[in-house]
Every structure is written in C-alpha cells, then in structure tokens.
C-alpha cells in the first residue's frame, strides 16, 4: 500500500486559492449590492448628489440640479 503524498497547500486563515476562487463571484455580487445600497441610503446629502451620483454615465442627469428660468 503506497503512502499518501502530503503537500503544503498555501492558505490565509484557512482560505485556500481554490476556496477563494469558488467564493469570489458571490463576494463581488454582495459587495456591489451593498455599495449601491449605501449610495442610495446617503442620496439625500447634496454633496453626494453633486460629486458622485451626478457623474454616473447613464443615470447622472437624474441627480443634476434642475435650473429653472
């Protein structure tokens, strides 16, 4: 009966590269969703509207100030 070959598997706090590769899509989706939720939560702040939300490429016109003549 051959002996098993023991190899060192690199890890960081028990997270191996294979496990990180498997979890990466979920982590990115949750991070994106939380980022969007955070921006919409602070949307009433004028500085956020002016500096961040009005510079979004397609939806930015929604947050630009309307100038009435």
pLDDT digits 0-9 by tens, 10-50: 988 988 999 999 999 999 999 999 999 998 899 999 998 88
pTM recorded for the entire structure: 0.64
Residue 65 confidence (pLDDT):
81
Q: How does DSSP assign the chain, residue by residue? A: -PPPPP-----BTTB-HHHHHHHHHHHHHHHHHHHHHHHHHTTTSHHHHHHTGGGSTTTGGGTSPPPP-
Work out the average pLDDT over 41-67: 88
pLDDT digits 0-9 by tens, 25-34: 999 999 999 9
């Amino acid at each position: 009966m051959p002996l098993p070959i023991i190899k060192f598997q690199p890890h960081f706090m028990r997270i191996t590269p294979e496990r990180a590769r498997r979890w990466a899509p979920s982590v990115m989706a949750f991070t994106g969703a939380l980022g969007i939720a955070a921006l919409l939560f602070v949307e009433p702040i004028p500085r956020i509207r002016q500096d961040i939300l009005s510079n979004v490429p397609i939806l930015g016109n929604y947050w630009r100030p309307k100038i009435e003549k």
